[in-house]
Amino acid sequence: MPLAFTPSTLVLAVEIAATAAFALSGLMAGARKRLDAVGLVVVAGLAAFGGGTLRDVLLDRRPFFWVEHANWLWALLVLCVGAMLFLRKRHLALTERAMQWPDALGLGLFTATGTQLALSLGQPALVAVLMGVISAVCGGVLRDIVCNDIPSAFHDHRPYAVCAFVGGWAVVGAHALAWPESAALLVGAGLTSGLRALALARDFRLPVWR
């Protein structure tokens, strides 16, 4: 019997993809700092689960999404071990640019799911958008703080949280137009990740305080 494809199934699939993307960005950030295996797993976990956990705390949503889907913790461990073995074997160059692309994917996916979840709980549009931004940005902020870096979301001057903010409003607009949840998620995630990718490719910069 085929599995039923429902909006809730789509949200779960998108959130799994976002979690994997952020975990990979955290793993690469930790590897660049030459952390040991425990440190790599911790940083990957913060990047993957930090933003969504803060979102759930602010929305008073229980259980937390990674508690509700505890198998994700096992998946995170497997991903970290597999990635560490692969990176060691292949001797990949862990550059700043290489870390930005999985991070851009996670940014879009978490923005869309965070905004959608807040809307489903009856939150006002602005609050829902901010929940999407928090879901998408705060995992990377925690990742960088633990790695003793100024969070890249605040100092690389290329649009990051701004992309999430715009993508969140795309989800709100699609929701207001009564679009299917799958379409709203696709538009929000695609717009956010696309804007971030464009900012990286074209090296767009935000104004800097002087």
Report angle CA 58, 60, 64 to the nearest 5 degrees: 95
pLDDT in tens, 135-177: 999 988 998 898 888 887 787 788 888 999 999 999 999 999 9
According to DSSP, residue 156 is labeled S
pLDDT in tens, 70-100: 787 888 888 888 877 776 655 555 555 666 7
Instruction: Give the Cα separation of 204 and 41 in Å (integer).
Output: 32
Check the CA dihedral 5-6-7-10 and report its sign: negative
Nearest to 105 by CA among 73, 139, 80, 144: 139
Q: Helices 161-176 and 96-120: crossing angle, nearest 10°?
A: 30
Q: Are 29 and 4 in contact (CB under 8 A)?
A: no
Residue 3 has what pLDDT?
A: 44
Residue 187: Cβ-neighbour burial (10 angstroms; 0-12, 13-18, 19+): middle
Domain ranges (residues) in the chain: 7-202
Dihedral in degrees, nearest 10, Cα atoms 66, 57, 25, 171: 100
Region 178-187 average pLDDT: 88
Q: Tokens 């940005």 — which residue? A: 137
Q: Are 59 and 121 in contact (CB under 8 A)?
A: yes
Residue 14 has what pLDDT?
A: 66
Check the CA dihedral 50-52-54-56 and report its sign: negative
Q: How far is CA 14 from the centre of its chain?
A: 10
Which one-letter amino acid corresponds to residue 139?
A: G
More confident residue, 62 or 125: 125
Q: Are 154 and 133 in contact (CB under 8 A)?
A: no
